[in-house]
């Protein structure tokens, strides 16, 4: 059973700890080289990886730094606790029945969020996908992937291996589409906690819901699922018409997701591209993506109109050859009642994944790049 409260995300904890350690070092008036020398670490890059949240921290290492910086009392206890959360990936992953390395970065961001805002430019976001639709997306992207061996090993495209890429539950081949589908379904349960968190808002382009996105029966089931999810108190869906004017003719080239956490944890943006995903937490970038999402919401249909449009679109898919699956009422235990449908071996339509960097380009943003073999979320 999914816990009622958000689970501390190891990724989020690492970032929070890193920013605090950098602040303490700067307050102590020490350079990175001076710190490495005084704590007698062999690797000069170790401190940089800790401060940038790129490595799993050892509690002993963190305590050595806190000793050097003269941190005591409640502040020390809090930072040591954060360090333990940051390294405890096993406890985090135990909340999921199955998890692949490709899904883990999203799961860690989602788990501790109090609010999530997503823009689906071409593909319905993973948190809203039915099993059948998810399988279409996975199989359609497969011709663009690496070898089965690379995918099964969870190998990054640059040859580097992430720390702690273990999955919980029964061992499965990561190249198996059913494993990927199960991982997405496991992630989706966090929208059904029943405590109103996270508050979830999605803006979906009409093109992400149209006739070329999958077999008609699959799309009818998917659209009915969206309509049912929109009935949940913590979920808001908006459909963006193709002729809508966004602000002063603004165009957003890529899908993105914004994750908000309880203070003082920093928000984050995940940006999807064809080759890799980027996670950004710099304040200027967060402000720009927040503004873009506000523009998208203003240009899209309101929630009630969006539900009406979904109903009409279901009729269009039925007219195109789908079997009417009937109205499914929201169920807090299982929001999508219809069983997954059989899919063609070829996987249906192409991936339709937008390529390219974020539209609003400003000063160079530091980003943590997730370069694993990309599968549409």
pLDDT block averages, 10 residues each, the chain of length 377: 52 80 92 90 84 81 92 90 75 62 74 89 93 91 58 32 34 64 82 83 94 89 95 95 93 91 79 78 90 97 95 84 54 38 32 32 36 45
Longest CA–CA separation in the chain, Å: 72
Confidence (pLDDT) at 231: 92
pTM above 0.85, yes or no: no
Nearby residues of 87 by Cβ (< 8 Å), 6 or more positions away: 10, 56, 57, 58, 59
Confidence (pLDDT) at 355: 31
How many Å apart are CA 276 and CA 375, to the nearest integer?
A: 9
Q: Taking phi first (over 0 means left), then psi (-120 to 50 degrees means alpha), and beta for anything else, what does residue 142 get? A: alpha
Confidence (pLDDT) at 145: 64
Confidence (pLDDT) at 368: 39
Handedness of CA 235, 236, 241, 246 (dihedral sign): negative
Identify which of 120, 77, 140 has the alpha carbon closest to the alpha carbon of residue 209: 120
Instruction: Give the three-state DSSP class for 346.
Output: coil
Confidence (pLDDT) at 149: 33
């Amino acid at each position: 059973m999914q816990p009622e409260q958000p689970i501390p995300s190891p990724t989020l904890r690492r970032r929070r700890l890193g920013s605090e350690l950098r602040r303490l070092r700067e307050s102590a008036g020490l350079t990175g080289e001076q710190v490495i020398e005084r704590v007698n670490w062999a690797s000069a890059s170790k401190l940089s990886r800790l401060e940038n949240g790129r490595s799993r921290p050892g509690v002993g290492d963190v305590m050595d730094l806190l000793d050097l910086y003269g941190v005591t009392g409640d502040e020390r206890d809090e930072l040591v606790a954060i360090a333990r959360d940051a390294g405890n990936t096993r406890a985090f992953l135990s909340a999921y029945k199955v998890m692949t390395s490709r899904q883990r970065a999203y799961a860690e961001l989602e788990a501790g969020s109090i609010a999530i805002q997503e823009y689906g430019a071409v593909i319905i976001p993973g948190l809203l996908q039915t099993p059948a639709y998810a399988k279409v997306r996975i199989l359609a992207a497969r011709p663009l992937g690496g070898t089965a061996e690379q995918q099964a090993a969870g190998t990054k495209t640059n040859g580097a291996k992430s720390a702690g890429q273990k999955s919980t539950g029964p061992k499965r081949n990561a190249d198996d589409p059913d494993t990927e589908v199960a991982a997405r379904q496991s992630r989706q349960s966090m929208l059904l906690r029943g405590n109103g968190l996270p508050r979830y808002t999605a803006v979906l382009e009409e093109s992400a819901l149209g006739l070329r996105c999958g077999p008609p029966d699959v799309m009818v089931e998917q659209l009915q699922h969206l309509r049912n999810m929109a009935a949940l108190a913590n979920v808001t869906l908006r459909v963006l018409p193709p002729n809508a004017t966004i602000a002063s003719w603004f165009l957003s080239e890529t899908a993105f997701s914004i994750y908000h956490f309880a203070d003082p944890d920093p928000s984050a943006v995940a940006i999807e591209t064809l080759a890799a995903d980027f996670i950004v937490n710099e304040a200027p970038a967060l402000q720009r993506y927040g503004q873009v999402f506000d523009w998208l919401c203003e240009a899209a249909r309101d929630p009630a109109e969006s539900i009406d449009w979904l109903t009409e679109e279901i009729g269009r898919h039925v007219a195109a050859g789908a079997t009417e699956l009937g109205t499914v009422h929201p169920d807090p235990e299982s929001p999508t009642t219809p069983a997954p449908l059989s899919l063609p071996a070829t996987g249906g339509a192409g991936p339709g994944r937008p390529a390219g960097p974020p539209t609003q380009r400003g000063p160079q943003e530091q980003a943590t790049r997730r370069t694993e073999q990309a599968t549409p979320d």
